[in-house]
Amino acid sequence: MVTNYTCSLYHKTTGSRLLYGTLDEWGLSARIRNPWIRSPPYAENHMPLIADVKTAASATKEDEAYLYLSSPYLELFSKLKMRGFASAQSEVDKYKPAFSGGLDFTINKINSLLIETFYTGATLPPTKSSSWFSASPPLPEREFRLFAAGLLFSNPAFSVSSDYAVSETFAVGKDIYANLGISLSPSLPFGEKARPLLISLSADSAGERFVYRDGLDHGGGFRNAAKIEWKGRYSSLIKINTVLRGNGLNEDFNRSSSGLYWRFPSSAALRNNTLRLTRISLSADRNAVNPLKVKDSFSGNLGISLNMRKIGIKSPLGINFSGSVKGLAGADSEASIYPLLDKDWSWESAGLNCEFLWSIGVFQLRSKTGYTFFPEKDEKWDFSLGTTFRFKHGRFSFKAVSPDFPEKWNWTVSWRTEIQRKL
């Protein structure tokens, strides 16, 4: 059993806060923790530096103390406002300090400029080789420092963001990580109104000797990505994206990920239908890091909303179906960075999932059942059931998960209490 205790104190007007416990981070410090497991650094996803307590129990994260101070927006000129912010945090059992600060400008109410800085340092523990031929050599206890800065300029038609980080580690050396994101938001005519179109491009790169925010070596690489989003009537959305990644600059790409997402309109007339499609998505990925074992995966998702008013229940029942197939490509597929189903393609596993989501007043119920089968192995079931109860001063959640139903179970209970007082 894992039990985490957290507490926090907030100042609502400025967002200032004092936190204790396991934390979630956003912004610059989170983007340089391990960018390869995050989505590409598009400009519209560039969040400001901040942290909050983590409500779910964690067996891996250590308790931390965190202080974030922000000024209210100050009017410098008639069309220019500015606020400043700074933060400090460290693990409770170890002295691993991290400091950040920055300035946030608002110009003519529609333009914004965010400038951030970040620093952390620590003494990293020694590492050992796992085998005689390990790619990572054994390293002694060593000092580690990381400096980073971020920039975001945005307005309704154009946004640009960039991060730059330098790590310096004893016995490893110095290296950099950098990213750039550009977003354009032209409006296209559609019927009587113009509908916004979002075109996003991004690229990021890290050197082989770069040590990340968490003090670990997640490897170098180069990645670029492109995305197109079109927002239609009644909250509808169509999104197409692709991501290519390689081991470094001027090297061939060996990984790809592409997807299509369509969220259907949600007008009042459509919501009255007994059965309504809410969204559909498709994705295809290829990992050709090992050219002798090229891995492909395909997945799909279908969302449905079931109107329950005919049986006297106001809240609709959300149903989500998803499926995936994973396999190995043949030797002829190595020339393509995108997955192809050729004659030599062989599957390794396939899975189906069904998820239910139902909100009733202050309660939200969620359940998921999944089935995975393999060509030469036994099938595998997984099951989860959870509920969240929201009240005036917080929320209470319970979740039961069985990754190998019915043999293994994980239970999670979390709650959050908020007390507001005017100062």
Whole-angstrom distance, CA of residue 191 vs CA of residue 265: 15
- Sorted by sequence, the CB contacts under 8 Å of residue 111 that are 6+ apart come out as 153, 154, 155
> What is the mean predicted confidence (pLDDT) over 185-208?
79
Whole-angstrom distance, CA of residue 53 vs CA of residue 125: 26
> What is the mean predicted confidence (pLDDT) over 39-53?
93
Residue type, 128: K
Share of the chain above pLDDT 90, in %: 47
Whole-angstrom distance, CA of residue 50 vs CA of residue 31: 12
Assign 35 a pLDDT band (cuts: 50, 70, 90).
Answer: very high
Whole-angstrom distance, CA of residue 280 vs CA of residue 230: 15
> What is the mean predicted confidence (pLDDT) over 332-345?
74
What is the domain range of residue 96?
A: 1-125+141-219
Whole-angstrom distance, CA of residue 206 vs CA of residue 36: 10
- Residue where the block lists tokens 């981070």: 25
- 265-315 tens-digit pLDDT: 887 767 778 888 999 999 999 998 888 888 999 999 999 988 877 666 777
Across the chain, mean pLDDT equals 86
- 16-27 tens-digit pLDDT: 999 998 899 999
Distances (CA, A) of 81 to 27, 78, 144: 21, 8, 37
What confidence score (pLDDT) does residue 131 get? 53
Whole-angstrom distance, CA of residue 403 vs CA of residue 12: 39
pTM of this prediction?
Answer: 0.82
351: in domain: no
Sign of CA dihedral 250, 251, 255, 260: positive
What confidence score (pLDDT) does residue 190 get? 54
Residue type, 409: W
* Other Cβ atoms within 10 Å of 7 Cβ, number: 10
Phi, psi of 233 (to 5 degrees): -75, 150
172: in domain: yes
What confidence score (pLDDT) does residue 402 get? 85
Our count of domains for the chain comes to 1
